């Protein structure tokens, strides 16, 4: 099943290269399938920093993190880390 | 002589060593028609990418922590799976590996374009693209710099991979592009390498020419020698007191403690928003009071000027959201914070008043981004109804700058924020390095605007301070004193230099220097005139 959770981007530069790279590393290590969706309908793989940056997510925007797993606690901790990357 | 933007205070004399990179890569061609050939090209491309990746690993291993993180970030972009996927589609259309990768990078660069925060990543991607293409063509892109001698490197700009290869023979750097905040500037400042960036005429320099790199003079002199270098001025504080008051800018407790170790006479700008950039919820009155009281108690003796929260897109505060309704960069919440979040400003003023009573300090309060006398009156009435403060406003917009005469009887003081004032006077984005020259504090229009503000303020018995970056420049601080400014506020690290400069002159000299700056017709000539007059 898919675990969905919204995350607000507080980093003043939006979802820029640094957090995108951190997300890729995290997703690689987790081995989970993760997608990042913007409210305008764009979706990026959590393994592609370039696709995430190309969505041009800005400070104040809300993104949805979609994790393909039955392990809700693993998904929750992954989302919490992503939130941390986007604190700025 | 070539003009540019100087980085650092050291000069260097050496021999021009030009770095060319662009001409040598082969043209992109369609090389095959079959899927088998496409698979061979894909293998070649993977090999080239992993070879560039190991180059980055090698560079990271020999680099400091900051540079190592940059190389790791570059590797993530290089090995992006969708970038490779896009290249594979191009391979299937018959393009050779170099063209397929180059076009895939171009596709993503287009997607990233138009966003100022991503511009540098576009440059990084193109640099990676060149490296991969060079691997495929068997061309070496290393700089191959000599280990001894005294060379002045000249190029369009330098990437992190380039600067990591600088040898000790590199005594100076000149870039045709770049700006005060580009990677080259940051590295050269950190390594103490003399540099002049954004020197557009440097493309005419020839290998083997002897040049003087003169950052203090913002120039490069062809055939120049050490005797011609502009000296960084050292001010000797001849008088016991500076001609005008010098205070410190602070944003948190650490800054306040650092300021207390300087000669600062109080705090000229306490930026309260810096406490709340990571807060999701509005802080309670109690939490605010504790934070403000700690900072008041730690601050250097003298008044503490507190600015109520200033929210803008480059310093967002989660609990006071921006609406992205303007194209100004950076967008500022400005006075709207008083209309839309009045209860928060009230809670701030109440907390400041309680902290003032607890610590027994003299506290002044001011509002940021005020555009009219009516807005100023609204804030001042509110502040006076809550606490026992001197009350004032920041002058950051051209509209209020020309309305100072209407503030008599409304404000006790004004504080000029030169960073934002420059941005709005010249209609340029202050976060964009390409606009560096228009944002120079030496711009004649900025200097004459400050002069007018000071004159109108004096007539209305209003104290006038300057708390922008410009006040942290010792030479410019003397000019400000001469223009009629009554106090300056500098970052703690600059307070003592600014104070020494202001104690090295009398007010008549400061006025004479200010008159020179006012009479100039360009920022370069304003600075040069003041320097020349000071030497006499």
**Domain boundaries in chain B?**
2-18+146-228, 35-137, 247-535
Q: Catalytic annotation on B380?
A: no
Contacts of A48 in chain B (CB under 8 A): 80-83
Phi, psi of B211 (to 5 degrees): -135, 155
pLDDT category of residue B424 using cuts at 50, 70 and 90: confident
pLDDT at residue B433 is higher than 70 = no
| Mean pLDDT over the full length of chain B | 88
pLDDT category of residue B331 using cuts at 50, 70 and 90: low
pLDDT at residue B325 is higher than 60 = no
pLDDT at residue B329 is higher than 60 = no
pLDDT category of residue A15 using cuts at 50, 70 and 90: very high
Read off the pLDDT of each residue in A63-84 and give the average, rounded to a whole number. 94
User: Quick one: DSSP state of residue B399?
Assistant: H
How far apart, in Å, are the Cα atoms of A47 and each of B80, B117, B400, B508? 7, 21, 50, 65
pLDDT category of residue B353 using cuts at 50, 70 and 90: very high
**Domain boundaries in chain A?**
2-85
Q: Which residues contact B196 (CB under 8 A, 6 or more apart)?
A: B2, B4, B5, B6, B7, B173, B174, B175, B202, B213, B214, B215, B218, B219, B220
Q: Which residues contact B148 (CB under 8 A, 6 or more apart)?
A: B168, B169
Per DSSP, the three-state class of B511 is: helix
The answer to which of B14-28, B115-129, B217-231, B257-271 has the lowest mean pLDDT is: B14-28
pLDDT in tens, B204-232: 999 999 999 999 888 999 999 999 998 77
Contacts of A51 in chain B (CB under 8 A): 80, 82
Are A17 and B118 an interchain contact pair (Cβ–Cβ within 8 Å)? yes
The dotted CATH code for B247-535 is 3.20.20.60
The dotted CATH code for A2-85 is 3.30.1340.10
Are B121 and A53 an interchain contact pair (Cβ–Cβ within 8 Å)? yes
CA distance B316 to B379: 22
pLDDT at residue B293 is higher than 70 = yes
Query: Which residue of A22, A44, A54 to mutate against B (max B Cβ within 10 Å)?
Result: A54
CA distance B299 to B294: 9
How far apart, in Å, are the Cα atoms of B196 and each of B190, B214, B217, B278? 14, 7, 9, 37
pLDDT at residue B327 is higher than 60 = no
* pLDDT given at position B281: 83
Is domain B2-18+146-228 in CATH 3.50.30.10, yes or no?
yes
pLDDT in tens, B513-532: 999 999 999 988 998 899 88
Who wins on pLDDT, B67 or B87?
Answer: B87
Q: How far is A70 from chain B (nearest CA, A)?
A: 25
Query: Which residue of A20, A44, A50, A88 to mutate against B (max B Cβ within 10 Å)?
Result: A50
Residue B502: left if φ>0, alpha if ψ -120 to 50, beta else—which one? Answer: alpha
ipTM: 0.90
CA distance B83 to B80: 5
Superfamily of domain B35-137: PtsI, HPr-binding domain (1.10.274.10)
pLDDT category of residue B457 using cuts at 50, 70 and 90: very high
pLDDT in tens, B297-324: 999 999 999 999 988 766 677 778 766 5
Q: Catalytic annotation on B341?
A: no
């Amino acid at each position: 099943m898919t675990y969905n959770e919204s995350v607000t981007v507080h980093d003043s530069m939006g979802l820029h290269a640094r957090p995108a790279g951190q997300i890729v590393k995290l997703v690689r290590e987790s081995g989970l399938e993760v997608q990042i969706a913007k409210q305008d309908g764009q979706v990026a793989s959590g393994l592609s920093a370039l696709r995430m940056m190309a969505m041009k997510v800005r400070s104040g925007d809300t993104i949805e993190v979609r994790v393909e797993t039955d392990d809700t606690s693993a998904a929750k901790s992954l989302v919490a880390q992503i939130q941390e990357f986007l604190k700025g | 002589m070539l003009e540019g933007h100087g980085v650092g205070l050291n000069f260097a004399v050496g021999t021009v060593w030009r770095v060319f990179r662009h001409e040598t890569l082969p043209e992109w061609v369609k090389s095959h028609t079959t899927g088998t050939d496409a698979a061979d090209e894909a293998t070649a491309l993977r090999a080239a990418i992993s070879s560039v990746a190991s180059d980055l690993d090698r560079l990271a291993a020999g680099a400091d922590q900051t540079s190592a993180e940059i190389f790791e970030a570059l590797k993530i972009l290089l090995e992006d799976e969708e970038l490779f996927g896009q290249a594979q589609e191009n391979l299937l259309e018959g393009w050779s590996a170099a063209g397929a990768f180059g076009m895939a990078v171009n596709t993503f660069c287009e997607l990233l374009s138009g966003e100022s925060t991503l511009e540098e990543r576009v440059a990084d991607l193109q640099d990676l693209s060149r490296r991969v293409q060079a691997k495929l063509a068997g061309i070496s892109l290393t700089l191959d710099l000599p280990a001894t001698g005294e060379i002045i490197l000249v190029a369009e700009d330098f990437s992190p991979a380039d600067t990591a290869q600088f040898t000790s023979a590199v005594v100076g750097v000149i870039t045709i592009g770049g700006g005060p905040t580009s990677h080259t500037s940051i590295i050269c400042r950190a390594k103490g390498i003399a540099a002049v960036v954004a020197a557009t005429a440097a493309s005419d320099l020839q290998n083997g020419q002897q040049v003087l790199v003169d950052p203090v003079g913002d120039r490069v002199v062809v055939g120049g020698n050490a005797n011609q270098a502009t000296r960084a001025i050292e001010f000797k504080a001849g008088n016991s007191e500076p001609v005008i008051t010098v205070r410190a800018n602070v944003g948190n407790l650490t800054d306040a403690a650092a300021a207390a170790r300087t000669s600062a006479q109080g705090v000229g700008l306490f930026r309260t928003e810096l406490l709340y950039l990571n807060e999701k919820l509005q802080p309670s009155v109690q939490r605010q009071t504790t934070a403000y009281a700690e900072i008041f108690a730690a601050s250097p003796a003298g008044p503490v000027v507190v600015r109520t929260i200033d929210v803008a897109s480059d310093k967002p505060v989660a609990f006071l959201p921006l609406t992205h309704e303007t194209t100004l960069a950076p967008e500022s919440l400005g006075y709207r914070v008083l209309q839309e979040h009045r209860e928060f400003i009230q809670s701030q003023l109440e907390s400041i008043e309680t902290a003032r009573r607890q610590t027994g300090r003299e506290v002044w309060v001011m509002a940021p981004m005020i555009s009219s006398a009516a807005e100023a009156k609204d804030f001042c009435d509110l502040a006076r109804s809550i606490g026992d403060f001197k009350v004032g406003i920041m002058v950051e917009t051209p509209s209020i700058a020309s309305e100072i005469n209407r503030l008599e009887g409304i404000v006790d003081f004004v504080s000029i924020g030169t960073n934002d004032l420059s941005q709005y006077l010249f209609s340029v984005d202050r976060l964009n390095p390409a606009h560096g020259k228009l944002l120079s504090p030496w711009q004649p229009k900025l200097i004459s605007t400050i002069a007018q503000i000071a004159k109108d303020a004096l007539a209305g018995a209003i104290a006038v301070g300057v708390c922008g970056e410009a006040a942290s420049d010792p030479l410019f601080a003397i000019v400000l004193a001469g223009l009629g400014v009554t106090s300056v506020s500098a970052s703690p690290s600059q307070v003592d230099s600014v104070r020494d400069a202001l104690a090295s002159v009398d007010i008549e000299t400061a006025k004479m220097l200010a008159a020179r700056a006012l009479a100039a017709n360009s920022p370069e000539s304003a600075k040069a005139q003041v320097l020349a007059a000071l030497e006499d």
